[in-house]
Amino acid sequence: MPKPITIDHIRIGQGERPILIAGPCVIENEELTLEIAKELKRICADKNIPLIFKASYAKANRSSGKSYIGPGIREGLEILAKVKSVVGLPILTDIHETIEVYPVAEVADILQIPAFLCRQTELVVKAASAGKALNIKKGQFMSPYQMKLIAEKAELSGNSNVMLTERGTFFGYGDLVVDFRSLPIMAGFGYPVLYDATHSVQKPAGLGEQSGGCREFILPLARAAAATGAISGIYMETHPAPEKSPSDAASMLPLSQLEDFLETVWGVFGN
């Protein structure tokens, strides 16, 4: 059984209350980010679900050079620091280069290695050295078995506070599928495993210059992941008006649907 890790006051691992990591894909502005964080906190407090807020200060893997990539590290971290101090939530955000690690670690409770970068040894090792928990997302091109070696890179750098996240596997050029065997396989390595319910329904570059998605599958796939008994929580992106979001508009869950989503999925978890 994966050993639990602790983030702030939240214990993450099998046998613990399943967590939710949620927020918008990318920071758009301070007002909207705080609005989403406050609503997430209200919803999760009402349902007694441990919550970690996520949002990216930059999206480093956009298909088009015209795509919005975020406010950047300086402004983005200032906004995330306000989510932490004003709303009182732990923070997860992506890092993309080794130079970002220590500045981000001053604000974030969890450093996230994006799926496309999970094989970047220097990035994983430098992130592990910062002393913060890591969430390493399984590359869309990776088997679950390969993730054991990547997690071990972090442990060899002295950091055992590692989580792994499933976010789907490439199926042809413009689609993703989820092999639910990957969840118990990765949990068997001794690390808490999360299921990314929204990136798993993406259609990469499915709209030409941006990703498409099938949000109608978010709920059934999340229920299936919870039913495996192998995950320690759900990772997902949500927005008050996904269609207006400059990133991942087609695959985020409308914030107005989140309460029903949590009621259903945590019912499958059984707590």
The mean pLDDT value for 196-221 works out to 83
- The structure's pTM equals 0.95
Local confidence band at 205 (pLDDT 50, 70, 90 cut-offs): low
129 closest CA partner among 101, 148, 110, 108? 101
- Of the candidates 12, 54, 74, the residue with the CA atom closest to the CA atom of residue 167: 54
- Set out the domains of the chain in order of their start, with CATH numbers: 5-269 (3.20.20.70)
pLDDT score recorded for residue 208: 47
In this structure, the number of other CB atoms found within 10 A of the CB of residue 22 comes to 32
User: Given a cut of 80, is residue 192 above it in pLDDT?
Assistant: yes
Q: What is the pLDDT of residue 64?
A: 64
In order, the DSSP letters of the chain are -PPPEEETTEEESTTSPPEEEEE-SB---HHHHHHHHHHHHHHHHHHT--EEEE-BS--TT-SSTTS---S-HHHHHHHHHHIIIII---EEEE--SGGGHHHHHTT-SEEEE-GGGTT-HHHHHHHHHTTSEEEEEPPTT--GGGHHHHHHHHHHTT---EEEEE--EE-SSS-EE--TTHHHHHHTTTS-EEEETTGGGEETTTTSSS-EE-GGGHHHHHHHHHHTT--SEEEEEEESSGGG-SSSTTTSEEGGGHHHHHHHHHHHHT-
Residue 210 has pLDDT above 70, yes or no: no
Task: Answer whether residue 99 shows pLDDT above 60.
Answer: yes
Q: Are 47 and 262 in contact (CB under 8 A)?
A: yes
Q: What is the pLDDT of residue 211?
A: 65
pLDDT digits (tens, 9 = 90+) for 39-90: 999 999 999 999 999 999 998 765 666 778 899 999 999 999 999 999 999 9
pLDDT digits (tens, 9 = 90+) for 121-139: 999 999 999 999 999 999 9
Q: Is 115 exposed, middle or buried (0-12, 13-18, 19+ CB in 10 A)?
A: buried
Give residue 65's pLDDT.
67
pLDDT of 215 reads: 94
User: Where does the pLDDT of residue 200 fall: very low under 50, low under 70, confident under 90, or very high at 90 and above?
Assistant: very high
φ, ψ dihedrals at 148, nearest 5°: -60, -45
Residue 2's pLDDT is 67
Residues 87-95, mean pLDDT to the nearest whole number: 98
